Amino acid sequence: MAACITNYKKGLCLMPEKTVILRENGVLVAVTDLQSGTWQMARDMFEVLQKELGLMKKDVSEVKINTKLIQEVSNDITALIKFTSNVKLNNTKILNLTKKIDQDTNEITEALNLYKNKLRSAIE
């Protein structure tokens, strides 16, 4: 069963869960989709958790870990990654359209200059 990441403002389902956080026998595990790149996010989350454990000076087996909360954070970050990806994609589209607009504007400018020169040559 795939979980759903929701838009925290609109409550809409955005994409299936790409990371699952589990704890079994004192071991915290992240199962990620390598293709989506969520493994990097999971690695970063584990670094934060590891630092917190170090500050507490306790072993992972001695600490109560709310895997549901970690899963929620993972889902939210995955949604942010998706939003960021969409922004990059839209930015690329905008850049391509901007180049096309620049080309069209240059053609208009060249045509205007040609017409100006023709009008100038009409008067002798």
**pLDDT, tens digit (0-9, with 9 covering 90-100), for 18-28:** 788 888 877 88
Which 3 state secondary structure label does DSSP give 101? helix
Q: What is the mean pLDDT of residues 105-114?
A: 97
Q: What is the pLDDT of residues 49-96, one digit of tens each?
A: 888 888 888 777 788 888 889 888 888 888 888 898 899 999 999 999
Q: Is the pLDDT of residue 7 over 60?
A: no
> The whole model's pTM is what?
0.56
For residue 111, the one-letter residue type is: A
Spatial distance between the Cα atoms of 69 and 65, rounded to a whole number of angstroms:
9
Tell me which of 50 and 13 has the higher pLDDT: 50
Q: Are 77 and 45 in contact (CB under 8 A)?
A: yes
- Find the DSSP H helices in the chain: 38-56, 67-122
The distance in angstroms from the start CA to the end CA of the chain is 83
> What range does the domain containing 95 cover?
4-122
Q: What is the pLDDT of residues 43-59, one digit of tens each?
A: 888 888 888 888 888 77
Structural domain tally of the chain? 1
Q: What sign does the dihedral 13-18-24-26 (CA atoms) show?
A: negative
Spatial distance between the Cα atoms of 121 and 41, rounded to a whole number of angstroms:
67
